Amino acid sequence: MTWISIFTGKSGFAASSTAEDVTKRVDGTGLTAIVTGATSGIGLETARVLALRGVHVVMPVRNMESGKKVKESIVEKIPNAKIDVMELDISSQESVRQFASQYCSKGYPLNILILNAGIMSPPFSLSKDNIELQFATNHVGNFLLTNLLLDTMKKTVKESGKEGRIAILSSEIHRMTYKEGIRFDKINDEKSYSAFSAYGQSKLANVLHAKELTRRFQEEGVKITANAVHPGVIATNLARNGGFNAFFYGVFNRILKNIPQGTATTCYVALNPQVEGVSGEYFADSNLGKASKHAQDAELAKKLWDFSLNLTKSN
């Protein structure tokens, strides 16, 4: 037995709502979406529900064999599903650049970008680009991928007349970052590294990313929205690192969402017409939520953008 809330918010949905509930009667035919981290958990369910609603889903995956098996499992149940599998390691900037180049060369449009892939609280290590692994995977890779695909999204918006949407998976744990929010001068400091605080830092970066993207879209007059999403506490593969994670999920077992419930807010932000024109916000339980004080700091968001540009050497 779990204690998931059945009380609805202003959207008409609750923590107990599923991804199919929040997209009921939504026709996604003609839309194309990228869903990262789609081989398991809420990423897989996101891909499945979007495909169910008629969206052409592109799944960037680290393991192509696993990706193809997921595609087969979805198509078996949804014969008309349109799904493509492409290779991507979001923690590697080289891989991100290769994926973006290949995607653009295929001439696919891009209406929806769902940045779902992530890791949680591993022991300290560096990415291939010598960046602390959680920050590299959960933020820097997403930042670079988004920047490399923005021209495609803008072109799609212009040609289709439909709003583009970016959903970035964050977490309530963005509130539990280091006291300074983002440790710009200590990103790779192993001595003071806290696996949990570093996870919170990367999740704060997700909210700030959506905020700064929104400022830039509004300044440019581009019809693209960017929002951060808290899926809820879910028993997924994020917890596979053990240690604190195992303890955390054990303590909060009574309030765990199942995967269809945990996927709801992502699909709500990606497809539901109620969210049209809403940007720079933080969503939880398929309703507007309130992010932390750090997450609402416009100057911090701008500083993070410049810092991320430097880490990725983007123009």
Let me know if 282 is a catalytic residue.
Answer: no
Return the closest-CA partner of residue 60 out of 104, 97, 90: 90
Measured distance CA(74)–CA(82) in Å, rounded: 10
Alpha carbon 218 to chain centroid distance?
21
Active-site residue (options: 103, 193, 199, 282):
193
Rg (CA), the chain: 18
Output the DSSP codes for 246-296.
HHHHHHTGGGPBPHHHHHHHHHHHHH-GGGTT--S-EEETTEEE---TGGG
Q: How do strand 112-115 and strand 83-87 relate by DSSP bridges?
A: unpaired
Measured distance CA(33)–CA(201) in Å, rounded: 27
Catalytic residue positions, numbered: 193
